[in-house]
Structure 1
């Protein structure tokens, strides 16, 4: 992985790209395979995108790997996702660390199996000093859960007298989210043709651009990423500051 060179990168490329990696199960079912066999192919797609993203000027990449709702899936599929997270970290961590990648896991640590929690902490610890590329993996993550946790933390501060209710602001709430310190995503991509957020980065994506691509995640590659960024580059981002004459809503 080459260091990010914004001089040579795609013009106006989004600095922070977030991806809802959807379609592993359908990829397997279309081939007559059990759903969980799509997940290893999804890991291959992760490797391709992590390798390609800096070449397109992306400095932060956030991947939605496992949601707080995904625990409802069949136990065998959940176990396979946990196994693949451990396998990915064990096989790729040193290469990522040597390439200057900093890894951060977003989401709740409580409820994770102890061996998964340990490997998450090891990945973050090993790459803590890196700053060439920032890779966030949303694991046991939900946008609503993150907002609830932030609200609880603020409520505790109020109850203890450390904070007055009237002093609560956007900035203070953001500081309690698991994404604190990250720039908001410029571009949110969802694969598989579905067009919804599925509880991903609800606060952070308030002014993100969205691109929905009709490709199952295991087939995703650098060309699809380039196409999404090209589409993003056609957009005019207004952040609510300007409104077309024939539109009466903010945005």
Structure 2
């Protein structure tokens, strides 16, 4: 688990980004920071803005407003190829006519790294993802989990500032998804990667993340550790979406200078670790 409260400079700073498609507002004033080595999962229902945020950070969709700083550099106006970001797509997007080694080595070739240096980096990364001995295989000769490892190795081999995972486990069966959750964590932790992953799977987010950014209707509903979102949801939506929970109807009341949660048949003190911003009269 990464200490997200450390004094280390932020690896990524997303500040008030908004994005419209015609009359539809896909993102509205989304802001968050990311520490080096942190694993952040963007979670939310379909159409909530999580994938649009990923695409804006990657450079596929320019923001209408706001700024994006990566490793201290403003990248909002840069094309994807100039942002030093690795990406794993949902369908892996492996080159079918390339071997494992050629797929993994492609980003190095594109950056002018060749010969013995490229061969060494490819061998090291193939070993990290557990595919040593498979360098000459073609993608069609690999299982879904093995193809995913190749895609992850390709995204990591050039030591990017940031790695983006677009629903990386969606194409796998449930048993393999569970295994690959831990494998992705192991691999990204081993190389010290800073990662943003997108998913609609609450269990996946709770298992893999240092922090979760939960989206709703184009806005950031809450961001925090899995424990913070599960134990201290900031709204009914967060409590209902993040996992199984008992929901009780009531309202906040200031009684004798103390904020309390009041409802039919109960009157209890609001916990000291409750989310900030709670006000008298809120339900």
TM-score, L = length of structure 2: 0.31
**Greater percentage in helix:** 1
Q: Which has the higher strand share?
A: 2
TM-score (norm 1): 0.34
Greater relative contact order structure (CA < 8 Å, 6+ sep): 1
Point out the structure with max Rg over C-alpha.
2
